[in-house]
Amino acid sequence: MSALLVTGARAVVEDPAEAGSVERGGDVLVVDGRVGGGAVPDGTEVLDASGCVVTPGLVNAHHHLLQSAFRTLPGTRGVPMATWLPTMAAAYDAAVVDPGLVAAAARVGVAEGLLCGVTTVADHHLTWPAGCSPEDSVHLARAAADAAAGLGGRLVFVRGAARDDPETAARSADLVAGALVGDAPGGVSPDGMLQVAVGPAGVHSDPEATFRLLGEVAARRGLRRRTQAGEQVDVAVAAERHGRRPLDLLEEWGWLAPDVTLAHLCGVTADEVARLAAAGVSATHAPGCDLPMGWGIAPVAALRAAGVEVGLGTSGGGSNDAGHLLADARLAMQVAPLVGPPLAAREVLAMATTGSAAGLGRAELGTLRPGAPGDLCVWNVSGVADAGVADPVAGLLWAAPGRRPRHVVVGGRVVVRDGRLVTADERELVEALSRRTAPRVAAAP
């Protein structure tokens, strides 16, 4: 038996989604990787949480981990998506995407997330080198999975497609799922640390055949489906090529359903919000990507009021430059009044935990209810940045924009202690990725 006691917290947020819940102070006991109760076993490890708020681990529902190697590229900031996409594609080609680059970027992205309180990350991997066979794609997927496993983070690997041959993408998705999780129910490994899903980039990129064939793989293997919809280029291309709205196409192609999560949704109308709710679709808000790039703002309050489950994601380093989900939670609160009613801090904390988890089909994540996986963050709220804060839970999001947790635990295992990564040397992670990006950095102005 392994046991961990997180003790002396000022507040413990057990379930951020529970309306009207009152946070309690005190302790959290994790036994054999799950939140427990009762007597503390002999030999239990103790983690000090005095002066802190304890929350469930954050769930980043939409990332592109490979883009951690492609931040702040010239010509990629504040430009139309129609310009951004080919600029990024050229950078991928020049860098040569292979298992080594995928692993180095994933290690940096997962480590960055853990250091910011993200215990689960969904990696929508869309970039496959020219000529990549379905068999070769398994090596790329495994590189990302092994990177997360080595650091102790939970990973959802989304076998994405962006202008890929539909049959090749479907065959690859089938092989990736078989190699990474086998026949595990829901595409989730028995230990819950790895999950596989499928997801075309969007109707702006992929034809009906890709959506249908990947949907068939998902149905056969019980996988979740994810795609992107409603950003600037998505709306424009759907109108130009099909004379339709993106959601019209997704509905016709069988992708408005309860097992589908749509990221972004910046351009949706009130009628479309109602359609999404009726279809049981979930959503992922990514303000740290969409707002600075000028690609739109999702009407989150309207989506939630209609009954759509909304999660939170950072999107990738090619548009956000950071994997700091709590910072994006703060941004979500700041921009909400521009497109509708304001969002309360607890609502957005729920989006970053239970909301994101629901979109992954993982109701066990994002909560500290008894029996839940022991994923948690210990946030120090005793410093000057929190002085004068009346509500320490709301202050987690509103105060200290660059806040990082003191400790992070995944499945009962401490992966960040006193603000430092336990499972790897940060310098080695940085150096490994720097070796791959050095020529590009040297050429930059």
pLDDT in tens, 136-152: 999 999 999 999 999 99
CATH code for residues 3-56+367-421: 2.30.40.10
Measured distance CA(179)–CA(225) in Å, rounded:
18
- Single out the residue of 316, 331, 281 nearest to residue 85, CA to CA: 316
pLDDT value of residue 403: 96
Question: Tokens 């994006």 sit at which residue?
Answer: 328
d(CA 13, CA 375): 12
Query: What is the dihedral angle through the alpha carbons of 289, 290, 291, 297, rounded to the nearest 10 degrees?
Result: -140
Question: For residues 184 and 190, what is the distance between their CA atoms, to the nearest angstrom?
Answer: 7
The mean pLDDT of the chain is 95
* Residue 439 pLDDT greater than 90, yes or no: no
Helix H segments across 126-204?
134-151, 166-180
All structural domains of the chain with their residue ranges:
3-56+367-421, 58-359
Please state, for a pLDDT cut of 70, what percent of the chain lies above it: 98
CA dist., res. 415 & res. 235, Å (int): 41
Q: How sure is the predictor about 443, in pLDDT bands with cuts at 50, 70 and 90?
A: low
pLDDT digits (tens, 9 = 90+) for 293-345: 999 999 999 999 999 999 999 999 999 999 999 999 999 999 999 999 999 99
- Tokens in use for 126? 């869309």
- Residues linked to residue 261 through DSSP beta bridges, in sequence order: 226, 282
Overall residue count recorded for the chain in this entry: 445
pLDDT more than 90, % of the chain: 92
Angle in degrees, 0-180, between the axes of helices 81-95 and 232-242, rounded to the nearest 10: 100
Stretch 342-370: mean pLDDT, rounded? 97
Residue 294 C-alpha from the chain's centroid:
21
Which CATH code is given to the segment(s) 58-359? 3.20.20.140
Could you tell me which residues come within 8 angstroms of residue 247 by beta carbon, excluding any fewer than 6 positions away? 229, 230, 256, 268, 272, 275, 276
Dig out the tokens for 239 from the structure. 């109108």
How far apart are alpha carbons 140 and 257 in whole angstroms? 29
Confidence of residue 78 (pLDDT cuts 50, 70, 90): confident
At 445 the pLDDT is 54
Tell whether the model's pLDDT for residue 23 goes beyond 80. Answer: no
> For residues 322 and 319, what is the distance between their CA atoms, to the nearest angstrom?
9
Q: Which two tokens stand for residue 379?
A: 């946030």
Give CA–CA dist 410/165, Å, rounded. 37
Kindly state the helix (H) or strand (E) to which residue 436 belongs, with its residue range.
helix 426-443
Query: Is it the case that residue 441 has pLDDT exceeding 70?
Result: no
Model pLDDT, residue 200: 98
pTM above 0.95, yes or no: yes
What's the one-letter identity of residue 410? V
pLDDT higher than threshold 90 for residue 210: yes
Q: Coil, strand or helix: which one is 408?
A: strand
For 41, the token pair is: 């076993």
Comparing C-alpha atoms, which of 151, 136, 237, 156 is closest to residue 199? Answer: 156
105-121 residue pLDDT tens: 999 999 999 999 999 99
Contact between residue 44 and residue 5 where contact means Cβ atoms under 8 Å apart: yes
Mean pLDDT of 353-371: 97
* CB-count exposure of residue 168 (10 Å: 0-12, 13-18, 19+): middle
The values of phi and psi at residue 27, to 5°, are -120, 160
Nearest to 172 by CA among 203, 127, 117, 135: 135
Contact status, residue 313 vs residue 290, Cβ threshold 8 Å: no
